[in-house]
Amino acid sequence: NASLLGILQHPDGTVLKQLQPPPRGPREQEFYNKVYDSDCCDSILLELREYLPKYFGVWSPPTAPNDTYLKLEDVTRKFNKPCIMDVKIGQKSYDPYASAEKIQQQVSKYPLMEEIGFLVLGMRVYHVSSDSYETQNQHYGRSLTKETVKDGISKFFHNGYCLRKDAIAASIQKIEKILEWFEGQQQLNFYASSLLFVYEGLCQATTVRLSDVTLAEKRGVPKGLLSGGDILEYNNNIHVINSTENGKIEASVSKGLSKFYALHKKAYSKRHHSQLSLKVENLEQDNMWKSSTCITQEHLNGNVIPQLEKVFCHMPTEIKESANVEVRMIDFAHVFPSNTKDEGYIYGLKNLITVLQNILDN
């Protein structure tokens, strides 16, 4: 599978995204190099950095010097229970140089792209009651119509108790900033590019309130791929795995996985035959753990539930507004120089804001 992509999680807090075959991979690398050029003094590109994952150049494993990976910030790293959604933005998911065949293929994948202006590629939502994640793959997003897209997106903000209106409001604000950037630039057009949404499934506001009702409890939580030795999956096809004691990363590659972050137990990686090992620098043991407040399973039974619901759904506004939310642009294999506004992307952003606002207002 020529388009096999990998996202590997590095213990230093970055992710490694394998470069796609030409022309896509080199185009994405060129885009990051241009935006993050240390000599860059274009105010538009400098502002754009705020909406991207940080870029740390490229990296190749010593064992396979011809494999190139983009080294990017792991936007999910600071979250305890990250809820993640990947939404492709724009009215066309094919670029201006696409063949008739490619256009046909892209349009048939989701004929409503032109009308809706965005497509949910996947999501992973933390459900507090069961202390587990619910995931949806790209078939979920493609099943959404103009009538059902609102409910389809609201699913991402529902934690099993109530709608996280704080996270929706914060998301709208972040998208509006990105929209402003698009309204003010005419040098780049983005096709088949996504917004990555991340919010805290165990938001601080909740744990603050929960401690008042003696529900919260301190316990160490491993960060990143160390949480339960899980694997991170992303961008159609791959991925990582569990870090061993000595800081080695084992990666397994698999076909056809859905294009978004999702976690699977490490047993999953053991079943795959194509294993490669990447040596990475050792990690201080104490960097691997951070203490954070979270709710343990034994508290989530019996008559605690109604109390919890109160806490989640009726938080004071001053706590709500500090919702821990990230919205970042990702996937730049189809970014092209332009001399016009990116109307397709702008249309998609505006419609996404409208849908989110509708969810809030109801």
- Sorting pLDDT into bands at 50, 70 and 90, what band is 323? low
**pTM of the entire predicted model:** 0.72
Average pLDDT for the chain: 76
- Tell me the DSSP string of 153-215: HHGGGB-SSSB-HHHHHHHHHHHHHHHHHHHT--SEEESSEEEEEEEESS-HHHHHHHHHTT-
My answer on whether omega of the bond before 61 falls inside 30° of 0, hence cis, is no
pLDDT tens-digit map of 294-308: 333 334 444 444 444
pLDDT tens-digit map of 100-129: 999 999 999 999 999 999 999 999 999 999
pLDDT tens-digit map of 253-287: 322 222 333 333 222 333 333 333 343 333 333 33
Q: What is the mean pLDDT of residues 183-187?
A: 98
Q: Report residue 129 CA to chain centroid gap.
A: 23
pLDDT tens-digit map of 339-352: 999 999 999 999 99
pLDDT tens-digit map of 144-166: 999 999 999 999 999 999 999 99
Superfamily of domain 75-203+322-361: Inositol polyphosphate kinase (3.30.470.160)
pLDDT tens-digit map of 4-63: 357 898 889 999 999 999 999 999 999 999 999 999 999 999 999 999 999 999 999 999
Rg of the chain (C-alpha set): 21
